[in-house]
Amino acid sequence: MKKIVALLMLCGTFLFAQINLQTASKEELMSIKGIGEKKAEQIMEYRKTNTINNPEDLKNIKGFGDNIVGNVKEANPVSKEKINKKVEDKKEEKKKELNNAVDKKIEKTTGSLIPKL
Protein backbone atom coordinates (compact mmCIF):
# COMPACT_ATOMS: atom_id res chain seq x y z
CA MET A 1 0.00 0.00 0.00
CA LYS A 2 2.87 2.37 0.84
CA LYS A 3 4.40 1.75 -2.58
CA ILE A 4 1.14 2.60 -4.34
CA VAL A 5 0.82 5.84 -2.36
CA ALA A 6 4.44 6.69 -3.16
CA LEU A 7 3.83 6.00 -6.85
CA LEU A 8 0.74 8.22 -6.85
CA MET A 9 2.68 11.02 -5.19
CA LEU A 10 5.46 10.58 -7.72
CA CYS A 11 2.94 10.80 -10.56
CA GLY A 12 1.73 14.11 -9.17
CA THR A 13 5.20 15.59 -9.31
CA PHE A 14 5.42 14.90 -13.03
CA LEU A 15 2.55 17.23 -13.78
CA PHE A 16 4.70 20.28 -13.19
CA ALA A 17 6.90 21.68 -15.93
CA GLN A 18 10.34 21.85 -14.31
CA ILE A 19 12.25 19.24 -12.37
CA ASN A 20 13.03 20.27 -8.81
CA LEU A 21 16.68 19.28 -8.42
CA GLN A 22 16.43 19.35 -4.63
CA THR A 23 13.63 16.76 -4.43
CA ALA A 24 13.77 14.89 -7.75
CA SER A 25 13.97 11.10 -7.70
CA LYS A 26 16.81 9.23 -9.35
CA GLU A 27 14.52 8.36 -12.27
CA GLU A 28 13.52 11.99 -12.75
CA LEU A 29 17.15 13.08 -12.75
CA MET A 30 18.08 10.34 -15.21
CA SER A 31 15.40 11.60 -17.60
CA ILE A 32 17.55 14.66 -18.26
CA LYS A 33 19.86 14.35 -21.26
CA GLY A 34 23.44 13.77 -20.11
CA ILE A 35 22.53 12.53 -16.63
CA GLY A 36 22.85 8.81 -16.13
CA GLU A 37 22.78 6.68 -13.03
CA LYS A 38 26.18 7.85 -11.72
CA LYS A 39 25.49 11.55 -12.16
CA ALA A 40 22.02 11.18 -10.63
CA GLU A 41 23.65 9.52 -7.62
CA GLN A 42 26.19 12.37 -7.44
CA ILE A 43 23.36 14.91 -7.37
CA MET A 44 21.52 12.98 -4.66
CA GLU A 45 24.72 12.74 -2.59
CA TYR A 46 25.49 16.45 -3.08
CA ARG A 47 22.05 17.57 -1.95
CA LYS A 48 22.41 15.69 1.36
CA THR A 49 24.82 18.39 2.52
CA ASN A 50 24.01 21.27 0.14
CA THR A 51 20.93 22.99 -1.21
CA ILE A 52 20.40 23.14 -4.96
CA ASN A 53 18.54 26.36 -5.70
CA ASN A 54 19.15 26.46 -9.44
CA PRO A 55 20.84 24.39 -12.15
CA GLU A 56 24.01 26.50 -11.88
CA ASP A 57 24.62 24.95 -8.44
CA LEU A 58 25.37 21.66 -10.20
CA LYS A 59 28.68 23.11 -11.37
CA ASN A 60 29.92 22.58 -7.80
CA ILE A 61 29.77 18.82 -8.42
CA LYS A 62 32.79 17.27 -10.13
CA GLY A 63 32.00 16.35 -13.73
CA PHE A 64 29.14 18.81 -14.20
CA GLY A 65 29.76 21.52 -16.76
CA ASP A 66 27.91 23.96 -18.96
CA ASN A 67 26.49 21.26 -21.23
CA ILE A 68 24.74 19.33 -18.46
CA VAL A 69 23.58 22.52 -16.75
CA GLY A 70 22.14 23.63 -20.10
CA ASN A 71 20.35 20.29 -20.47
CA VAL A 72 18.88 20.67 -16.98
CA LYS A 73 17.62 24.14 -17.83
CA GLU A 74 16.01 22.81 -21.00
CA ALA A 75 14.48 19.72 -19.36
CA ASN A 76 10.89 19.59 -20.55
CA PRO A 77 7.68 17.77 -19.64
CA VAL A 78 8.01 15.41 -22.62
CA SER A 79 10.77 13.46 -20.90
CA LYS A 80 8.71 13.50 -17.71
CA GLU A 81 5.79 11.92 -19.56
CA LYS A 82 8.09 9.02 -20.36
CA ILE A 83 8.81 8.54 -16.66
CA ASN A 84 5.14 8.94 -15.84
CA LYS A 85 4.41 6.09 -18.26
CA LYS A 86 7.02 3.94 -16.51
CA VAL A 87 5.41 4.66 -13.15
CA GLU A 88 1.97 3.82 -14.51
CA ASP A 89 3.32 0.57 -16.00
CA LYS A 90 4.85 -0.39 -12.65
CA LYS A 91 1.56 0.40 -10.93
CA GLU A 92 -0.34 -1.80 -13.38
CA GLU A 93 2.21 -4.58 -12.88
CA LYS A 94 1.71 -4.39 -9.10
CA LYS A 95 -2.07 -4.59 -9.57
CA LYS A 96 -1.69 -7.69 -11.75
CA GLU A 97 0.62 -9.30 -9.19
CA LEU A 98 -1.87 -8.56 -6.42
CA ASN A 99 -4.76 -9.96 -8.47
CA ASN A 100 -2.78 -13.11 -9.24
CA ALA A 101 -1.95 -13.57 -5.57
CA VAL A 102 -5.63 -13.19 -4.63
CA ASP A 103 -6.65 -15.65 -7.36
CA LYS A 104 -4.13 -18.19 -6.07
CA LYS A 105 -5.45 -17.85 -2.51
CA ILE A 106 -9.03 -18.29 -3.70
CA GLU A 107 -8.06 -21.30 -5.77
CA LYS A 108 -6.16 -22.79 -2.85
CA THR A 109 -9.03 -22.37 -0.38
CA THR A 110 -11.93 -23.32 -2.67
CA GLY A 111 -10.20 -25.81 -4.91
CA SER A 112 -11.20 -23.94 -8.04
CA LEU A 113 -10.93 -20.49 -9.44
CA ILE A 114 -14.11 -18.42 -9.27
CA PRO A 115 -14.90 -16.99 -12.72
CA LYS A 116 -14.08 -13.31 -13.09
CA LEU A 117 -16.77 -10.86 -14.15
Q: How much is the pLDDT for 13?
A: 46
* Closest C-alpha among 73, 89, 83, 71 to residue 12: 83
Q: How much is the pLDDT for 43?
A: 95
| Domain 2-89, architecture per CATH | Orthogonal Bundle (1.10)
Q: Where are the domains of the chain?
A: 2-89
Q: How much is the pLDDT for 16?
A: 45
pTM for the whole structure = 0.52
- Position 48 confidence tier, pLDDT thresholds 50, 70, 90: very high
Residue-by-residue DSSP string for 12-37? HHTTSSS--TTT--HHHHHTSTT--H
Q: How much is the pLDDT for 41?
A: 96
pLDDT score of 9 more than 50: yes
